[in-house]
Each structure stands twice: as C-alpha cells, then as structure tokens.
Amino acid sequence: MTILSIRGKPVDPAISLIIFFFSALIVGVIPFLYHDTAAQNFPDEETLLSFFGADLCQLTSTTIEERNSYACSAFLLESAGLSAKTAPIAGAFLSVTLTVIPILQFSRIPLGVFFASLGWGFIRAIFLSVLSKDMLSACVVLLSVMAAQHSGFGLTWFLSSTIYGWVVRKYWLLVSAVWLGLRLIRKQLTVFRLLVIIVVVYIALALTFQIALGVTLDFARATVNENREVGAEGSRTVIEAVIASDNALLQALNATITFFRLAFPLELLRFGSVSQLAFISIMPFTFIWMVKVVVEGAKSNNKNLIQAAKVALAPLSFLIIEGVFEPDFGSFARHFAIVSPLVFSAMALAQKTELAEKRLLRRRQAAAISSNPLLVRSTRQDRIS
C-alpha cells in the first residue's frame, strides 16, 4: 500500500489513505464546479460541438492533410457517447485516474512529490471540465500510465501517441519520433549530451521545415498568435521569439531558449495570479525530476530504472516538441498537465530500485553481523545498555 512520507518518515497508512481519498475527491469535483466557467473561457467545446453530427473527419483517408483535427476529435468524442452534459463526468474520471494511478504506483510518496502531482491534477481537472481534444490525449496517457510498470509500455506509448498524431494532432507524430530516437540512444544520455541532442533535434527540424515546407521553425506558433484576438485565451502569455531569424541555426537556438522558458516559466511571475504561481512552482521541479530519472536510467543496468527512463523520455520528448509549437504558456500548462503523470510513474519505478537496494544493503549488514560472533556480542551489549 502506498503511504505518504515527510522528510523520509512514513505517515500512518490510515492517514495517508484519507489524504489520498480527499485529494481524489477534490480533483474529481473540479470539472463539475468549473464546467460553466470553462465553457466560457475555452472555445474548444463550442468548436467541437459544431462538428457533432457531421462526418467530416475522413478517418479512413491515407492522406493526413485531409483530416481536420476538430472534426476527427468530435467524431471520436461523439462516438464515445460524450456531449456537453456528460463532459464533466469524463473529465472527472480522466482527472482522477491520471492523478491517483501514478501516486498509487509509489511505495512511499514524498510530500513534495505528492503536492506536485496533486497540483498538476488541479490544472488538468480545470482544462478537462469541457469537451476538448485533450480528452483524447488524456486517454493516450492513461493507457501509457497503466502500462508504465510493464514491458509493454514502449509499444503502448508509441502506437497510441502515433495514432493520436495521425488522426488528431499532427505534431504528436514528431513526439513519437523523438521518443523513439531518444529511446535508441538512451544509454549514452547525460545532462550535457541531452542538451546537445535537443539542439540537434531543433536544427534538423528547422532545416526540414525550411527545405521541405518553405517555412520557419516557429511558423505554427507565429500563425496562431497573429490570428489571436486581444483578450482571447492565452493572449496575455503568448510566447514570442527571442531571436527572430530566417537562419536555421538561429531558429534552432530560439527553439532551445523556448524549451528552457517552458521548463522554467519564471517570466510568468509578472502576472502574479494564483494559478500561474502554482504552475511556476511545480513545472521546474517536474522537469528536474524527469531529467534525473532519464540520466540515472542511462547509468544503470537495473531493469526498473531502465524502464523508468523509458517512461520519463515520453514527457521529455513531448516537451522538446512543445518548444516548437506552443503559442502561449496557458496552452502549454494545459497540454503538459495531461502528460505529466508519466513523470510520476517514472519516479515511482525509480523509487522501487532505491528501496530494493536499501533492503539488500540491510540484509548484507545483518548477514555480516550474524556471521561474526564479536559483532553479535557487541550488538547485544548495545541493546542491553
């Protein structure tokens, strides 16, 4: 059973269970309480509902350009029996399961990690209060979280994310490709090499976009922000290029800077809202934990730690691609809140290795003491005194 720990000291299992239960309850209630407000603030539900009843997805088409992401999302959501009325139910289910399952994968979950996971749960529940494409990506992540501790994780994540990218959000195809590439060179990853690889990925994308499509690397972000109405969702937190250039190398440098701006969104401090402060507080820690698991997995031969690294590479790959496509920090918080449970599943796996090594060390110490009569006698005298 999972228990909460504070500074390494375990909390009573019954108290831990009560805390987990009420946390899940709060996360589950948010979609119902926030639905009306979310429907007014986020246009996704209204847009999706306009496609309900119209078979415009062309799901069987072999040409990806022929599919409209909203039309296909509407088709899938409607086929699942969802509507504006039932959206909070689906949102509550997805929010609770994506929050609770990674927590329950821990043996002992540190208080700080628990609060970070719960913080992402609150953010996720707000955005899943209404019909959105994120409900479909949440299903992809939920399947992967459930498979995180099994050998089938890689296949589950790769296939589900690729299918989602093919049908709904095209940039998820790049997420799948980056994950596969990082997975193949996992053993060579260090913090420095990871930084170099991120820059190389951005250079490759910049050259591909420029040669094959005739556009700059940040064309998607620029297009969204140019067409954005003042006062629309995310208009205050738009991500603008620090280095605007047609040069592929400078575009890659700008994407690298954006990557770290997303990982450490300290520039949002100027707004000072409670929701943004919560996001600013948990995103850097989540990023550091994610990279730590990846690097530790590269150094280890332990199967649990290797598996943890594979899982952590999924949200890391997503973050790399977000450095190219995200138009504003609000959209990034919404999208990363969906994939963040994978970070905590990876940490839970890494913890299993740590606890197993501690148990093995205690057994060896006990065996060494029992095999040495002098140590046994000394230990007995210490107990008596």
- In this predicted structure, what is the pLDDT of residue 374? 58
- In this predicted structure, what is the pLDDT of residue 229? 65
- Domain containing 266 equals 152-377
Task: Determine, yes or no, domain membership for 253.
Answer: yes
Task: Determine, yes or no, domain membership for 167.
Answer: yes
Task: Determine, yes or no, domain membership for 216.
Answer: yes
User: Per-residue b/e over 237-251, b at no fewer than 16 CB within 10 Å?
Assistant: bbbebeeeeeebebb
Query: Residue ranges of the alpha helices (H) in 80-216?
Result: 87-104, 111-127, 134-146, 153-167, 171-184, 191-208
Task: Determine, yes or no, domain membership for 92.
Answer: no
Whether residue 130 contacts residue 87, with contact meaning beta carbons closer than 8 Å, is answered with yes
| Interhelix angle 191-208/274-299, nearest 10 degrees | 110
Residue 247 predicted with pLDDT over 60:
yes
Per-residue pLDDT tens digits for 117-175: 999 999 999 999 999 999 999 999 999 999 999 999 999 999 999 999 999 999 999 99
Task: Determine, yes or no, domain membership for 281.
Answer: yes
- In this predicted structure, what is the pLDDT of residue 384? 53
DSSP conformational letter for 335:
H
Measured in Å, how far apart are the chain's first and last C-alpha atoms?
36
Q: How many domains does the chain have?
A: 1
Position with higher pLDDT, 233 vs 354: 354
Confidence label for 54 from pLDDT (cuts 50, 70 and 90): confident
Task: Determine, yes or no, domain membership for 342.
Answer: yes
Residue 62 predicted with pLDDT over 90:
no
Task: Determine, yes or no, domain membership for 308.
Answer: yes
- In this predicted structure, what is the pLDDT of residue 68? 86
Residue 342 predicted with pLDDT over 60:
yes
- Please state the rounded mean pLDDT for residues 250-263: 96
- Please state the rounded mean pLDDT for residues 38-43: 86
- In this predicted structure, what is the pLDDT of residue 246? 87
**Cα separation of 354 and 373, whole Å?**
30
pTM listed for this prediction: 0.91
- In this predicted structure, what is the pLDDT of residue 367? 75
Residue 378 predicted with pLDDT over 60:
no
Task: Determine, yes or no, domain membership for 244.
Answer: yes
